[in-house]
Amino acid sequence: MNLKELKKMIEENDIKAIDFKYSDLIGRWYHITFPVRRLDYVVKNGIPFDGSSIPGMKSVESGDMILMPDLSTANISPFAETPTIRIICSICDADTKKGFIKDPRSIALRAHKYMNDLGIADQSFWIPELEFYLFDDVEYYNGKFESGYRVSSSQNKEALPDDFEDRNSLSQQDRKGYQMDVPLDKFSDVRQEMVNIMEDMNIGIRYHHHEVGLAAQQEIETELSEFPRIADSLMWMKDIVRNISLESGLSSTFMPKPMYNEAGNGLHFHMLLKKNGKNIFYKKGRFADLSEEAEYFIGGILKHGRSLTALTNPSTNSFKRLLPGFEAPTKLFYGLANRCAAIRIPKYATSEAIKRIEFRTGDATCNPYIAMSALLMAGLDGIKNKINPSDYNFGPFNDNIFNWPEAEINKLKSIPENLTEALKAFKEDNEYLLAGNVFDESFIDSWIQEKMKEIKEVNNRPHPYELNLYYNM
């Protein structure tokens, strides 16, 4: 969309306000709104703001930055009472108007450019699988003298809201919720309303369904979409989920592990690369019809896998999801149709058009601009340096590794057990991200500092279960 088309949209829909959105380092959206009459000036000059007030961006003494809009992301807000157009922005240096080195969206744009500059591919296509829970009620509190949380779900007999009467006996227990049908899939219409808005915004949805978690776990999966636009789409999708759940009297969460011993929320990424319109991951007759480039791409991701988790699984909660028994990977290897693998080759994706790989480790506490850029950079590093997965015992393994002898399982490289371990790996292995100036060392330092703050806040607080263990010692 260009400025002329945007003005036509404004006139036809009696738009009164323009809302600029931008992402901080860890993936939270911020916004600033202005009257539509200022559009011409703002499109040319941007909007200045204090970058030092955004965690991890800039220091107080050098905080001046500007927001520059990408008009192609413009859409009419389905939630604002005043007719409003929303536009995603990049954070730029105030003097040069170039993308700031730590701006997540600018990182994604640079990663895409770097891929093109290498000549390996000119397009990358992705399918994110977004998982989340819809709870009826959520309460959490943390103070000096009390701490705890409680979630309620009218779909799960073990977690019914206090005032809920299950008169129709539709609430379930002792079963999995995967693709559960209506009326047991109680929030199917809510999920459909989310998808309707996504489709109206030209975010192609492949399908949606109830996920494994019985307490109303959901999944929405897109069609193959091009990066970096798909990262914008993920930000919109999360925004739509939050707003529609709020309008429906529900509480949504993308937390990887909101409940003990229940299915966690992942964010799987399917990926393929194209050059001159041809899928370079496809080669008929090789293992799973994967080309050498595809295997090297896999090798790069798995070789840097421990480092990548600091960006794809960047919360203390993330590693509570990565446990055996929940279809979540704990070892770095790949395989055909193998759901305990960090990278799975979908068995149904047999044609050249859709031959792809699936990275199953990530979760939606990640910043999609950063996580997807990092995965792309790791894969490109694998192609550049011809990193063969078999040389590092990364597979392919097509069986359930947890049926192997323990000594054989232990030979496989493990995903970090916690965020501290992931950040250590990230600090030791990040050169693949610095290629082409896509990321830089100031980003790496800021990321580690911000995440160490989270670790400290969690570690310094007594855990409720510690009272079970130690109160009467």
Active site annotation includes 210:
no
Query: Among candidates 181, 204, 201, which has minimal Cα distance to 244?
Result: 201
From 31, 206, 339, 461, active-site residue: 339
Alpha-helical regions (H) of 25-85: 39-45
292 is annotated as an active-site residue: no
- Decide if 129 is catalytic: yes
* Residue 50 annotated to the active site: yes
Active-site choice (131, 185, 232, 381) = 131
CB atoms within 10 A of CB 192: 11
CA distance 317 to 325: 17
Task: Verify whether residue 193 is a known catalytic residue.
Answer: no
The beta-strand segments (E) located in 195-333 are: 205-210, 217-222, 225-226, 251-253, 267-275, 278-279
* Amino acid in position 353: A
Asked if 169 and 186 count as a contact pair (C-beta separation under 8 A), the reply is no
Cα separations in angstroms, 208 against 10, 180, 235: 32, 12, 17
Catalytic site residue from 185, 358, 363, 381: 358
- Across-strand partners of 84? 17
Measured in Å, how far apart are the chain's first and last C-alpha atoms? 66
Q: Please check whether residue 415 is in contact with residue 342, taking contact to mean a CB–CB distance below 8 angstroms.
A: yes
Determine which one of 219, 232, 363, 381 is catalytic.
219
User: Cβ contacts of residue 253 below 8 Å, gap of 6+?
Assistant: 132, 133, 135, 138, 265
| 268 assigned to active site | yes
105, 191, 210, 268: which one is catalytic?
268
Choice among 136, 360, 363, 381 that is catalytic: 360
Query: Considering 50, 226, 399, 441, which one is annotated as catalytic?
Result: 50
The CA distance from 379 to 388, in Å, is: 11
SS3 for 318? Answer: helix
Q: What count of Cα atoms within 13 Å lies in the side-chain half-sphere of residue 253?
A: 21
Catalytic residue (choose from 211, 262, 295, 363): 211
Catalytic residue among 24, 129, 293, 381: 129
A 10 A CB-CB count for 10 gives 18
- In whole angstroms, what is the distance from residue 342 CA to residue 361 CA? 6
DSSP string, 400-458: -GGGS-HHHHTTSPBPPSSHHHHHHHHHHS-HHHHGGGSS-HHHHHHHHHHHHHHHHHH
Cα 9 vs. chain centroid, distance in angstroms? Answer: 31
Q: Which residues are catalytic?
A: 50, 129, 131, 211, 219, 268, 339, 358, 360
